[in-house]
Chains A and B, each alone.
Chain A
Amino acid sequence: MRSIWRTVDEKLGRRLARDIALVLVADGLVGVSFGAIAVSDGFPIWVPMLLSLFVFAGAAQFMFIGLVAAGGALVPAVLAGLVVNARHLPFGFAVADVLGSTLPRRAIGSHLMIDETVAFTLAQHDPARRRAAYWTCGVGLFGCWNVGVLLGSIAGTVITDTDAFGLDAAFPAVLLALVLPSLRDRRTFLAAAVGVAIALASTPFVPAGLPVLLALIGVAVVRPKAPAPAPIEAA
């Protein structure tokens, strides 16, 4: 354990390693609450465990369990989860460079693609650090999330409300802190502002998960400036 930590420390630097560790602990606790909620809703332990291992996406898992527990049918619950997870498609384009070129690495790396992992990777510019941030955060989250869900499922109703610890505020704060430097670019900021407005305005009217995708309209409205001037055609 100590030697793993030392390797992580060398590749990431102490600050980044500590930042990622904080997010792992917070997400592990959210996993505990997910397991506890699923079991107290009457699901056998294998349901939250299989979801966490195979789907590995917090928002979609909570939504799936919530819809089925409320008496919903399975097909709409699956479709809702897929809509929520559609955002991973553009994520994959953005982090493709850190996954490596062999099929197993790319397949495993793809499965570890989570909002926090993508945000941490986005905040690094050096290729080696991007890679280290992605894999450390991805593998760490997969471990902490699944262990958390298992503990929560076993403990049952011990912690069902991680909101009491303010963990629901920690997740957006993590995203904000990681995305803030990218927002210094004026066009990126405008695109994000338009996207946020669209997402918030559409939330009461469209199924969950869709507002975040609709935010992409912001990219189309504020077309980012091309880095190099377009070639001018001869008259």
Chain B
Amino acid sequence: MNTPGMLVAILVLGAGTFAFRFAGPVLRERLTLSVYADRLIAVAVVVLLSALFATATITEGESFAGYARPAGVLVGGVLAWRKAPFVATVVAAAATAAGLRLLGVP
């Protein structure tokens, strides 16, 4: 392994990631946003988290993640929709996926 190269790569990735994270709060202070822009950002965050949810549920890399994971998330989703406690939702999702894999479902 090329040690200095790896060190620089990790530091650059860290600095770039920090720049993305830091830009929002700093820009936010310098710009006066309209109520409409505020609303737009709130919707954008929900859209990003929803897309993250969907891709993390269904895909692994560039292909299908298999059946156990979406099935687990579906069970969790139904519980969340029926207003079950958060803990029950998350544990049920994990337990369903783990149980299906134990039974040999990919």
* A residues apposed to B, CB below 8 Å: 15, 18-19, 22-23, 26, 42-44, 47, 50-51, 54-57, 60, 64, 68, 74-75, 77-78, 81-82, 85-96, 99, 101, 106-107, 109-111, 113, 115, 118-119, 122, 163-180, 182-183, 187-188, 191-192, 195-196, 198-200, 203-204, 208, 211-212, 215-216, 218-219, 224, 226-228
Task: Please tell me if the beta carbons of B20 and A92 are within 8 angstroms of each other in the complex.
Answer: yes
B29 and A96 contact, CB distance less than 8 A: yes
Does A173 contact B80, Cβ atoms closer than 8 Å? yes
Contact partners of B52 in chain A: CB under 8 A = 87, 115, 172, 175, 212
Inter-chain contact B87/A93, CB cutoff 8 Å: no
- B1 CB to closest chain A CB, in angstroms? 7
Report yes or no: A106 in contact with B24, Cβ–Cβ below 8 A.
no
Within the assembled complex, what's the spacing in Å between the Cα atoms of A206 and B44? 21
Q: Which residue in A77, A82, A89 is a CB contact (below 8 Å) of B23?
A: A89
Min CB gap A117→B, angstroms: 11
Beyond A90-B48, A96-B28, A177-B90, whether A169 also contacts B40 by CB under 8 A is: no
Q: How distant is A213 from chain B, measured CB to nearest CB, in Å?
A: 8
Cβ contact of A22, chosen from B36, B72, B87, cutoff 8 A = B87
Q: In whole angstroms, how far apart are the Cα atoms of A174 and B13 in the complex?
A: 26
* A218–B52 CA distance with the chains assembled, in angstroms: 14
Which chain A residues border B87 with CB–CB below 8 Å? 18-19, 22
User: Are B49 and A118 in contact (CB-based, < 8 A)?
Assistant: yes
> Could you tell me if B101 and A163 are in contact, using CB atoms closer than 8 angstroms?
yes
Q: Which secondary structure characterizes the binding site on chain B?
A: helix
* Contact call B10/A50, Cβ cutoff below 8 A: yes
- Which of A23, A169, A175, A176 is in CB contact (< 8 Å) with B69? A169
Interface residues on chain B, number (Cβ under 8 Å) = 75
**Secondary structure dominating the interface of A:** helix
Interface residues as binary, B45-73 with A (CB distance below 8 Å gives 1, 0 otherwise)? 11111111111111101110100110011
Does A92 contact B40, Cβ atoms closer than 8 Å?
Answer: no
Given pairs A47-B6, A50-B10, A227-B36, 10 additional interface contacts (CB within 8 A)? A18-B87, A89-B20, A92-B24, A93-B41, A96-B24, A96-B28, A110-B25, A169-B96, A224-B36, A226-B39
Does B54 lie within 8 Å of A199, measured CB to CB?
A: yes
Q: Give complex CA distance A77, B96 in Å.
A: 34
Residue with the highest number of chain A CB atoms closer than 10 Å, among B1, B35, B53, B98: B53
Kindly report which residue of chain B lies nearest to residue A18, judged by CB atoms: B87
Contact partner of B55 (CB less than 8 A), chosen from A183, A199, A228, is: A199
Checking A75, A91, A183 against B45 with a beta-carbon cut-off of 8 angstroms, the contacting residue is: A91
* Closest Cβ–Cβ distance, residue B27 to chain A (whole Å): 7
* A93 and B24 form a contact (CB under 8 A): yes
User: Is B54 in contact with A188, judged by CB distance below 8 angstroms?
Assistant: no
The 8 A-B pairs at the shortest CB distance, nearest first, are namely A92-B24, A54-B14, A169-B72, A215-B51, A166-B97, A173-B76, A173-B93, A166-B98
Nearest neighbor of A93 in chain B, beta-carbon distance = B24
**Given the contacts A19-B86, A169-B94, A109 and B45 also touching, CB distance less than 8 Å:** no
For A175, the chain B residues whose CB sits under 8 A away are 49-50, 52-53, 56
